[in-house]
Amino acid sequence: MLQATTTKTNPALAELAETNLETLVGNTPLLQLQRITRHLPAAVRIFAKLEWHNPSGSIKDRAALFVLRAALQAGELGRGRVLLDSTSGNMGIAYATLAAARGIAVKLCVPENASRERIAVLRALGASLVLTDAAEGSDGAILKARELAAAEPERYFYADQYNNPASWHAHYHTTGPEIIAQSNGQVTHLVAGLGTAGTMVGTGRYLKQYSADIALVAVQPDAAFHGIEGWKHMASSIQPGIYDAALPDKQVAVRTEDALLATRRLAKEEGLFVGISAGAATVAALQLAATMQAGHIVVIFPDSGYKYLSDRMWQPQPAGL
Amino acid sequence: MPTIRIPTPLRPFTGGATEVAITGATVADAMHDLTAQHPQLQQHLYGADGELRAFVNIFLESEDVRHLQGIATPLPAGARLRIVPSVAGGKRSQRAATQLAAGCC
C-alpha cells in the first residue's frame, strides 16, 4: 500500500503514523485497454491508471494525503485548526475523507455549480461548505478561501492545493514509482491532464529521472469555456504555482465533445465508466498512439463517472435544448 | 428587461460585459437575441448541429430551464437568466485577477 511506497522514499512522512484508511491510498491498478485500441499496431499499447480505486474515489487522495500529512508534520494542523481550501470537488472529497478519519475539521469553498453528487458527498463526510458564485468559476472559490484564511489565520490551515508543493510531491513519491514498477520499466509515454498540474509535474519528474527518454504529454481543454471537469485551460488562466510549463514534451488540446465521445466509448467498449477527464486523456492517448509503431503509453484516469450522473451530458436531451 | 449573466470564460466575447440585457418572450428568444448581439458567442454555446453544447446549462433565476419548459420557458419581465457550464472550474474573472494580483486576500 502507500506505506510501502511513500515512507521508504520520503522519510519525513515515515515519522507520522498512518491511519488505516491512509494505507489504502495509492497502488491503483494499471489496466491495458483492449477494444478501443484494436486498430493500433500490436506493439502500441495503452495502459490506464485507474485512480478511482483510491478510498475517496479519485486521484486526489494522493495529493490530499501528502498535504494533510505535511501540515501535521509541520504542526500547521492539529489543536483544533480547520483545514481550509477551495475545490471544485474531488480534492474536497479527498480532504474530507482523510480528515474525517483523523478527526480534523474541513471547510471548503466550492463553486455553486459543482455537481449535486459532490456537494452531497462532501456534506455526508462532515465538511463545512461555502458555496461561491458559479459565474466566477474556481477562481471565485480561491478568492473566498484566501479571504477566510486572511480573516482568521489562527483558525485555519489554508492548504492551497494550487501552490502547495505537497500536491506534486505525492505523485513523485507514489504515482511515478508505481508506473515504473507496474510497467516493468517499459513505459515510453505518460499522458495526463492539467488541473493543478500536480499529477503531471510529480509523476513526470519521477519518470524523467528514471529515464529522460520517457515522453510527457500534457492535455488541456481547447478553450477557456469547456466541460472537462477538473482541468484548466492554461492560456486563459493564471498558472498554478506548482506547474512547470517546461516539463511536458508535448501539449494536446481536447474539445469537450471529443472527450465526451471517448468517455462514452470507454463505458460501452471497455466497461470503464469514467469521468470526462479520463475520456479527454484517452483522446490525446489515441492521437499519440496513431503516430507510433511501438510504445507503451500510460494514461491517467482520474475518477469514475458516478459523481457526474446529474450532469446534463448524461441526461436524455429534450428536443431543442 | 430580462438579463443574462455571462460566465467569466465567455466575457471576452461580450466586450467584458458580465450581464447582457436581452429582449424576448422565451428562453429561446433570449438566447437568439444574445447571440445576435454578440455573434462570437455562437461557436462557444452551440455545436455545428445548432444545438446547445452538452455542458452548457441555462438557468432562470436558480432553476435549470430543462426542469421547466426548456427553451420554451416563458420569461417574466425582469427575468434573470444565467449561463452555467457543467464544470465548476473556469477562467479567472478580471475582478478576481485584479484582486489576486494586488494580493488583497
CB of B55 less than 8 A from some CB of A = yes
Chain B residue numbers touching A135 (CB-CB < 8 A): 5-8, 18, 82, 84, 93
Same fold, A11-56+165-314 and A60-158: yes
CB of B66 less than 8 A from some CB of A = yes
DSSP string, A147-198: HHHHH-TTTEEE--TTT-THHHHHIIIIIHHHHHHHTTT---EEEEE-SSSH
Look up the pTM and report it.
0.88
- Cα dist. A67→A99, A198, A202, B104 in Å? 11, 12, 14, 24
Check residue A112 and give its pLDDT: 85
Instruction: Kindly list the domain boundaries of chain A, sorted by start residue.
Output: 11-56+165-314, 60-158
B102 has pLDDT over 60? no
Nearest CA to CA, how far is B38 from chain A (Å)?
16
Check residue B91 and give its pLDDT: 39
Residue among A10, A102, A8, A91 at smallest CA distance from A54: A91
B103 has pLDDT over 50? no
CATH classification for the domain delimited by A11-56+165-314, as one of 1.10.10.10, 3.30.565.10, 3.10.450.50, 3.40.50.1100: 3.40.50.1100
d(CA A24, CA A1) in angstroms, rounded, equals 6
Q: Cβ–Cβ contacts within 10 Å for residue A116, how many?
A: 12
Closest alpha carbon within chain A to B100: A143
CB of A113 less than 8 A from some CB of B = yes
Residue among A172, A300, A164 at smallest CA distance from A240: A164
Residue A250 appears among annotated catalytic residues: no
d(CA B89, CA A46) in angstroms, rounded, equals 28
Check residue A3 and give its pLDDT: 41
Number of folded domains in chain B?
1
Domain that holds residue B19: 3-101
Average pLDDT of the residues of chain B? 84
Check residue B87 and give its pLDDT: 67
Q: What is the CATH number of the domain that holds B84?
A: 3.10.20.30
First to last CA, chain A: 47
Cβ-nearest to A134 among B10, B18, B84: B84
- CA B18 from chain centre, in angstroms, equals 9
Check residue A134 and give its pLDDT: 82
Spatial contact of A47 and A183, defined as CB atoms under 8 Å apart: yes
Cβ-nearest to A225 among B5, B10, B28: B10
Residue A208 appears among annotated catalytic residues: no
Contact A227 B86 (CB under 8 A): yes
Check residue B86 and give its pLDDT: 79
Check residue B74 and give its pLDDT: 95
Q: Which residue has the higher pLDDT, B9 or A58?
A: A58
CB of B102 less than 8 A from some CB of A = no
Chain A residue numbers touching B57 (CB-CB < 8 A): 113, 312
| The one catalytic residue among A86, A138, A167, A277 | A277
d(CA A283, CA B70) in angstroms, rounded, equals 31
Mean pLDDT, chain A cut into blocks of 10 residues (321 residues total):
44 70 97 98 98 98 97 92 92 97 96 85 96 83 94 97 95 98 98 95 98 98 90 83 96 95 96 96 98 98 89 57 46
Cell of residue A161, nine digits: 492545493
SS3 category, B5: strand
Nearest CA to CA, how far is B63 from chain A (Å)?
12
DSSP string, A128-156: EEEEE-GGGHHHHHHHHHHHHHHH-TTTE
> E-assigned strands of chain A?
30-32, 44-50, 82-86, 106-111, 128-132, 156-158, 189-193, 215-221, 250-254, 295-301
Cell of residue A27, nine digits: 497502488
Pick from A86, A87, A225 the residue to mutate for testing the B interface (most B CBs within 10 Å).
A225
Check residue A16 and give its pLDDT: 75
